[in-house]
């Protein structure tokens, strides 16, 4: 079955420290991978994507993600967290066979303390 | 501002009412989606339209009826809903197919409360 997993419901980090939000996937073929962020009472905002090429992808708001094919992971990272980064983060994958559908993870709530 | 608008932003309706949610995208995309987001539950894909044709219907009850009159507009018609249908309904669009970028752009959502 094709799926994406975010093993942590909540991640707590002190402001200024590096952060990592984990994501693993299980799809056949070469996946397209995405990260989204959701602030309270808002829709999801696209952060970054990996399709091919360099395994380290840079996105909005200073976030980056590393594609690791052998570990089937696509962890989201930021070198120095801000309180304003506190939000709900979703990892998503588009199976190669899908024309338009993408599969979302269950979300990880990131909390940055001052 | 993502280029996807949804109206209304908030809706309270009784179980016997009929209402419609509207979504409009200004991005030139060719695929549109309806999602349901409930507290403590994963994002649920409800319907997918590609080139105005419904390509996916994830076992959604018939009290939800989608309509896609053109590639820029998507509606979700609601009738005789249940309290458990209360949720945030999100619309999204993407550019799919050959040469597409595939990432989805979301509207702000409609917060629906069924009383």
- Model pLDDT for residues B32-73, shown as the tens digit of each residue: 999 999 987 888 999 999 876 777 777 899 999 999 999 899
Helices (H) and strands (E) in chain A, counts: 0, 12
What pLDDT is recorded for position B41? 83
Radius of gyration of chain A (CA): 14
Q: Nearest CA of chain B to the CA of A68: how many Å?
A: 20
What pLDDT is recorded for position A29? 82
What pLDDT is recorded for position B29? 92
Residue-wise pLDDT for A30-66, tens only, equals 889 999 999 988 899 999 999 888 999 999 999 999 9
Q: Which residue of A has its CA nearest to B36?
A: A43
Better-scored residue on pLDDT, A98 or A32: A32
| Contact at CB, B92 and A41, closer than 8 angstroms | no
- Please choose, from the candidates B2, B1, B22, the residue with its C-alpha nearest in 3D space to the C-alpha of residue B11: B22
Better-scored residue on pLDDT, B79 or A95: B79
Please give the mean pLDDT across all residues of chain B: 90
What pLDDT is recorded for position A99? 67
Better-scored residue on pLDDT, A72 or B52: A72
Q: Which residue of B has its CA nearest to A35?
A: B103
Instruction: Find residue A88's DSSP bridge partners.
Output: A38, A109
Beta-carbon count within 10 A of A98 CB: 20
Backbone angles phi, psi at A17, to 5 degrees: -85, 160
DSSP state, residue B41: S
What pLDDT is recorded for position B57? 72
Residues of B with CB under 8 A from a CB of A: 2, 4, 6, 31, 42-43, 45, 48, 50, 55-56, 90, 92, 94, 96-97, 101-109, 111
What pLDDT is recorded for position B50? 84
How far is residue B66's CA from residue B83's CA, in Å, rounded to a whole number? 20
Q: Which residue of B has its CA nearest to A37?
A: B106
Average pLDDT over residues B94-114: 88
The helix (H) or strand (E) run that includes residue A73 is strand A73-78
What are the chain A neighbours of B105 within 8 Å (beta carbons)? 46
């Amino acid at each position: 079955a094709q799926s994406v997993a975010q093993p942590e419901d909540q991640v707590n980090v002190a402001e200024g420290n590096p952060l990592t939000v984990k994501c693993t996937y299980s799809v056949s073929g070469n996946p397209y991978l995405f990260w989204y962020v959701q602030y309270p009472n808002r829709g999801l905002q696209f952060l970054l994507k990996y399709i091919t090429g360099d395994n380290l992808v840079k996105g909005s708001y200073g976030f980056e993600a590393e594609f690791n094919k052998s570990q089937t992971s696509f962890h989201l990272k930021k070198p120095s967290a801000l309180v304003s980064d506190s939000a709900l983060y979703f990892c998503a994958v588009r199976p190669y066979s899908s024309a338009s559908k993408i599969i979302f993870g269950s979300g990880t709530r990131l909390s940055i303390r001052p | 501002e993502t280029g996807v608008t949804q109206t209304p932003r908030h809706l309270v309706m009784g179980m016997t009412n009929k209402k419609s949610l509207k979504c409009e995208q200004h991005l030139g995309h060719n695929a549109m989606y309806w999602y349901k987001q409930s507290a403590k539950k994963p994002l649920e894909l409800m319907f997918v339209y590609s080139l105005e044709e419904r390509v996916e219907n994830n076992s959604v009850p018939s009290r939800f009826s989608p309509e896609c009159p053109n590639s820029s507009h998507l509606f979700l018609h609601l009738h005789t809903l249940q309290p458990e249908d209360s949720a945030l309904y999100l619309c999204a669009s993407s550019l799919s197919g050959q040469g597409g970028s595939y990432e989805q752009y979301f509207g702000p959502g409609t917060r629906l409360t069924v009383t």
